[in-house]
A = this chain, B = another copy of it.
Amino acid sequence: MTIKFESYLQSHANFNESDLKRISSLAEPRVLHRNDFLLMEGEICRHKTFIVKGMLRVFGTRTDGSEHILLFSPEHTWTLDAESYDKQIPSRCNIAAVEESEVLMWTKSDFDKLLAEIPLLKSLSEQLISRAIHNSRQRLLSALSATPEEKYNDFIRDSPALMKRLPLRMIAAYLGISLKTLTRIRHAQLHR
């Protein structure tokens, strides 16, 4: 499983062979079935996780049981609850598999070691953080200002591949609209 991960790393920066092996050696592989949880609300996020294959979702739940999805993490992305991981405090969100997935996990202490040892990893990590910030800002702006139809169109435009792999109810939970509204939009677009 680490081979795919190593080629991902290679494609992002010029890691040498020993760095690659060193990073991989501390990873713990895991297979997740549909709806298996990587992290449950209230638990402490002890690992940084790379998705080798499949897709996870990060979501919050409300008292009535409804899900609200913060982001999807498909293959070749990283995932964690940053707040819980950084401070090692209980998480307020969940991470679960959307589909059969393979992941690699590093404990915080191991990953911190790697960051200190390997400057290239540190800088990659900073890039990813900066992308995550930007991503969540864009999403906030969209949540605040876009109409349901705009959100849906933006999602199709930006993530056509995910679109095909996700059930509509998750897309609705991601866009912050009801499933009913989503099917209405789709219906309207068919007849235009």
Contact = CB atoms under 8 A, between A and B. Distances in A.
Given A60-B145, A176-B145, A137 B137 contact: no
A132 B129 CA distance: 11
Contact of A144 (B130, B145, B176): B176
A68 interface: yes
What band does the interface of chain A fall in when counting residues whose beta carbon is under 8 Å from B? 20 to 34
Interface string A59-85: 010100010111000000000001100
B136 A137 contact: yes
Binding site secondary structure of chain A: helix
28 contacts: A60-B141, A60-B145, A62-B145, A66-B145, A68-B145, A70-B137, A70-B140, A70-B141, A70-B144, A82-B133, A82-B134, A83-B130, A83-B133, A83-B134, A83-B137, A93-B141, A129-B133, A132-B133, A133-B133, A133-B136, A136-B136, A136-B140, A139-B140, A140-B140, A140-B143, A143-B143, A143-B176, A145-B176
Interface string A123-167: 000000110111011011101110000000000000000000000
A9 B68 CA distance: 37
Nearest to A62: B145
A132 B82 CA distance: 11
A86 interface: yes
A106 B60 CA distance: 37
Contacts of A136: 133, 136-137, 140
Given A93-B141, A133-B133, 4 more contacts: A62-B145, A69-B144, A132-B133, A143-B144
A169 B73 CA distance: 36
